[in-house]
Amino acid sequence: MGTHRRPKPPSRARIATIGMAAGAVSLLPTQSQAAPKPTVDEVRKQVEKLYEEATGPTEEYNAIREQQEKLQGEVDSAQDRLARKQQEVNELREKIGPLAASQYRSGGIDASVQLFLSGEPDDYLEQAEMLDRTSNRQADALRAMQAKQRELTQERQAIQKRLEDLKETRTKAAKKKDEVQEKLTKARKLLNSLTTAQRARMEAAQEQDDAAAGVSDSAATYNGPASGRAKTVLDFAYAQLGKPYEWGSTGPNSYDCSGLVGASWRAAGVSLPRTVKQMYDAGRKVAKSDLQPGDIIYWYNDNQHNGMYVGNGKAIHAPRTGKNIEVVPLDSMPFFAASRP
């Protein structure tokens, strides 16, 4: 970051004029002077730094969002199971009702009294056997209902735990989102502090830097050395050239870095994890000297930024907020590792 020039102290005449205009009592200068506006180059460096600082939290946000979606799926499945178990309990209740009524009607009198009142002992014994069977069926149904009731309670507890976890991930996601938004808002404020002419100068300087580094973000068709599945991946990626980077996005109109990699490989029928870190952990590592088109490139470290090798010492990636998907020299950023899905 550039150094700030110390402003020239104002003349006494100037101080007096300012003091009178403001109705000030004292003609002495105040301790705090307005800080000089940063230069175009300083703004550019600060903006680049803020955008770079936003990439880490963006990937953390992506991981939390993925976890949130998984938990939401588990909650939905558990609620379906809960509804089925509740229905089973209701059906068992309906079966037990008539059995209980039958026992109440026939089984409320003492067995010896029933035998005495019965004109035909054989009829009584037959009735007693039937009641015994009824009682056994009722006992079985009650046991089944108690088991289902326990399952129902466990399912409710499991859902409650999942809902608590889901609430926690939502809170985490909101915090990460705020962290990213704060950095992007600071960057926007810095850019808005520039005049139109200064903005134009900054953009022209960026374009010169990109041209000098061999960066290309104009729409093009992939015609490199890839073949088969890797060609499908890179054909898709090249069709996205010029589309904007947007944090947390997986297409089709914008992408973040891991969003572009995931969408490109998905076009070839390969499902990758969501974040840079997860892709790095899941992939088969390849040496820089063994790179093949389509391999995933990791710059800086294992969780900050990635793209794909296109061959001939170049890579395609979604760079950062304010820029579009582009092709860059492989070594335009510090190479960390590569993996092959």
What confidence tens digit (pLDDT) does each residue in 309-334 have?
999 999 999 999 989 999 999 999 99
Contacts of 214 (CB under 8 A, 6+ apart): 314, 328, 329, 332
Q: Pick the catalytic residue: 64, 241, 257, 325?
A: 257
**What is the count of structural domains for the chain?**
2
| pLDDT higher than threshold 90 for residue 237 | yes
Q: Report whether pLDDT(49) > 60.
A: yes
CB-side neighbour CA atoms (13 Å) of 130: 11
Domain at 259, CATH number: 3.90.1720.10
In the set 162, 305, 314, 320, the catalytic residue is 305
Axis-axis angle for helices 40-107, 196-213 (nearest 10): 90
pLDDT digits (tens, 9 = 90+) for 105-163: 554 444 554 544 455 556 656 665 655 665 676 677 777 777 878 888 888 888 899 88
pLDDT of residue 307: 98
305 catalytic residue (yes or no) = yes
Q: Is the pLDDT of residue 10 over 90?
A: no
- 113 and 182 share one domain: yes
- The confidence score (pLDDT) of residue 119 equals 53
Q: CA-to-CA distance for 135 and 59, rounded, in angstroms?
A: 63
In a domain, 10, yes or no: no
Axis crossing angle, helix 40-107 with helix 257-266, rounded to the nearest 10: 60
Average pLDDT over residues 266-271: 98
Domain boundary among the residues 192, 226, 254 is at 192
Residue 177, domain extent? 43-192
Q: For residues 230 and 225, what is the distance between their CA atoms, to the nearest angstrom?
A: 10
Q: Which residue has the higher pLDDT, 216 or 285?
A: 285
Are 115 and 54 found together in one domain?
yes
Q: Is residue 236 part of a domain?
A: yes
Q: Is 317 annotated as catalytic?
A: yes
Q: Which of 81, 83, 99, 84 is nearest to 141 (CA)?
A: 99
- Could you confirm whether 4 is annotated as catalytic? no
Residues 107 and 154 in one domain: yes
30 lies in a domain? Answer: no
Answer yes or no: do 222 and 323 share one domain. yes
Reported as a pLDDT band with limits 50, 70 and 90, residue 57 is: very high
Is residue 205 included in any domain, yes or no?
no
Q: Are residues 55 and 177 in the same domain?
A: yes
Element (H, E) at 314: strand 314-317
pLDDT given at position 26:
39
Would you say residue 9 lies in a domain? no
What was the pLDDT predicted at 335?
A: 97
Confidence at 185, pLDDT banded by 50, 70, 90: very high
Which two tokens mark 97? 């009702």
Helix (H, G, I), strand (E, B) or coil at 244: strand
88, 224: one domain: no
**Least confident window among 28-42, 69-83, 169-183:** 28-42
- CATH assignment of the domain containing 164: 1.10.287
Q: What is the pLDDT of residue 27?
A: 43
Weakest-pLDDT range from 35-44, 184-193, 196-205: 35-44
Q: What is the mean pLDDT of residues 251-278?
A: 97
Share of residues in the chain with pLDDT > 70 (%): 76
- State the distance between the two ends of the chain, measured CA to CA, in whole angstroms: 39
Options 65, 148, 277, 317, the catalytic residue? 317
What pLDDT sits at residue 3? 45
Average pLDDT over residues 237-256: 96
In a domain, 32, yes or no: no
Q: Which of 192, 227, 259 is the last residue before a domain boundary?
A: 192
pLDDT at position 270 over 50: yes
Same domain, 168 and 241: no
Per-residue model confidence (pLDDT) at position 5: 46
Question: CA 270 to CA 175: how far, in whole Å?
Answer: 31
Residues 112 and 148 in one domain: yes
Domain assignment of residue 267, yes or no: yes
Lowest mean pLDDT among 8-22, 64-78, 285-299: 8-22
Least confidently predicted of 155-164, 222-231, 234-243:
155-164
Residue 180 sits at φ, ψ, to 5 deg, of: -65, -45
Across the strands, what pairs with 297?
307, 338
Cβ 69 vs Cβ 165: under 8 Å? no
Shared domain for 282 and 156, answered yes or no, is no
337 beta partners = 298
User: Residue 133 belongs to what H/E stretch?
Assistant: helix 121-192
Residues 186-199: pLDDT tens digits?
A: 999 999 999 999 98
pLDDT of the residue at 7: 46
Query: Is 22 part of a structural domain of the chain?
Result: no
Q: Do residues 235 and 303 both lie within one domain?
A: yes
Residue 250 pLDDT: 96
DSSP states of 29-98 as a string? PPSPPPPPPPPHHHHHHHHHHHHHHHHHHHHHHHHHHHHHHHHHHHHHHHHHHHHHHHHHHHHHHHHHHH
Mean local confidence (pLDDT), 54-76: 91
Question: Does residue 185 share a domain with residue 229?
Answer: no
Q: Which pair of tokens denotes residue 311?
A: 């061959």
Both tokens assigned to 203: 């953009």
315 and 250 inside one domain: yes
Residue 224 pLDDT class (50, 70, 90 cuts): very high
